[in-house]
Amino acid sequence: MKNTNGSKFDQDKSSKVLNDLKQASEADYSTSTAELPPPGGRISAITSNLRALGRMMQPGRPHRPVYLLLFVTNSCHARCAHCFYWRETNKPVQTLSLPEIDSLCASLGPMVQVTLTGGSPELRDDLPQIVNIVRRRCHPLNLTICYTGDLPEVIEAQVRESLEANPGLKLAVNISLDGLGSDHDRYRRRKGLFDRAVESVKRLTQVRDDYPNLCVGCGICVHGLNSDGAIATARWAMENLSLDNLSPVLVRGDTYDQDARNGDVEAFLEIANFTRDRLHSGEFRGYSTATHRLINAKDIVQKEMIAEIARGGSMPVVCSALHDTAVVYADGSVPICEMR
């Protein structure tokens, strides 16, 4: 896989981090990643989770990342105004094959979090097989799939197949919802997308009846076009959809529509506080097990730090890019961070 470092980053530091990761990949474990146990071994899975958590708790020691953000495709039916990935979207590229994804996951080993995104992941027919690979190779404490919600029947089938093949998998599925009705369609340049996204959520809540390990959520991107309506959208989703979680995202990067930049930080934080309060009260199930409460806590703190930085404050922590966090684009490119 190739590295796509931008000129804005310190090249020497990037090279050092990559070299540290290479050394760690040879010394981090006494057993080969090829010997990772298949899904279903509870003791082995717990051991893998503890390994990943142990790496995360040793920030001074070079180690493989514990959080993988994998763009499984660059194909997308939408053309979102706030998208930072728009230059890569729908380009004719050779996406990573299943054997390549298997090799990637085997090299990373146990993970705390793996997130599958795009593009529109529902457009990848072999997505359940990717989930199987991630589960077998990485045993993540939590696996998340971020969908646009454009193909409700496909999403339901993919999630059911993934859960059926991986008993006990902690799977979170987030459907994007940035506005109400035609506003959402306008922001994402896709007619009828709001109705299909809502249908996707409702179908997933039915899947959850059969698979309690499924966490159904919505992701709301707060950007320059929807700042006035983002809070109303969040309230509507909380009141009308049977959600386990609601995750606000503050717009970032070089957006497709310049007017989508500069989302309302206070609206973003208010939605984050809605979620925090409902997680604390139990109205939102979130990641409900004892170990998964770590993820809830991380999400809460992360939103507060994002708001502080967006207001012009200093970076409260050292960036974890290429140390704790790895990003891999659909063609196998490895950027320094999600936005290169």
Distance CA 311, CA 322 (A): 25
pLDDT tens digit sequence for 278-291: 888 888 876 555 55
Question: Residue 50's pLDDT is what?
Answer: 53
User: Where are the chain's structural domains?
Assistant: 11-19+44-328
Phi, psi of 115 (to 5 degrees): -120, 125
Assess contact for 228 and 300: CB atoms under 8 A: no
* Amino acid, res. 1: M
Give the global pTM: 0.79
Tokens of 123: 């457009």
Instruction: Give the other-Cβ count within 10 Å of 282's Cβ.
Output: 9
CATH homologous superfamily, domain 11-19+44-328: Aldolase class I (3.20.20.70)
At residue 334, the pLDDT reads: 87
Name residues of the chain where pLDDT drops below 50. 2-37, 40
Looking at residue 27, its pLDDT comes to: 37
Residue 257 φ/ψ region, left for φ over 0, alpha for ψ in the -120 to 50 degree band, beta for the rest: beta
* pLDDT at residue 64 in the model: 75
Residue 321: the pLDDT is: 62
Give the sheet arrangement for strand 113-117, strand by strand: 245-250, 214-222, 171-176, 142-147, 113-117, 67-71, 325-328
Give me the pLDDT at residue 93, please.
87
CA distance 317 to 309: 11
Q: How far is CA 116 from CA 15, 72, 130, 315, 318, in A?
A: 26, 6, 9, 27, 24
pLDDT at residue number 286: 66
Please say whether the dihedral angle defined by the alpha carbons of residues 129, 95, 339 and 17, taken in this order, is positive or negative: positive
Residue 327 is classified by DSSP as E
Contact present, 63 and 28 (Cβ < 8 Å) = yes
Q: Look up residue 169 and give its amino acid.
A: L
In which residue are the tokens 């503890």 written?
50
What are 68's strand-pairing partners?
114, 326
Please give the structure tokens belonging to residue 225.
């076009």
Alpha helices (runs of H) in the chain, residue ranges in sequence order: 11-27, 42-56, 98-108, 127-138, 152-165, 182-188, 193-210, 230-240, 265-281, 293-310
What pLDDT score was predicted for residue 197?
98
The pLDDT value recorded for residue 121 is 96
d(CA 165, CA 76): 26
Nearest to 127 by CA among 170, 199, 212, 70: 70
DSSP 60-92: TS----SEEEEE-----S---TT-S-TTTTT--
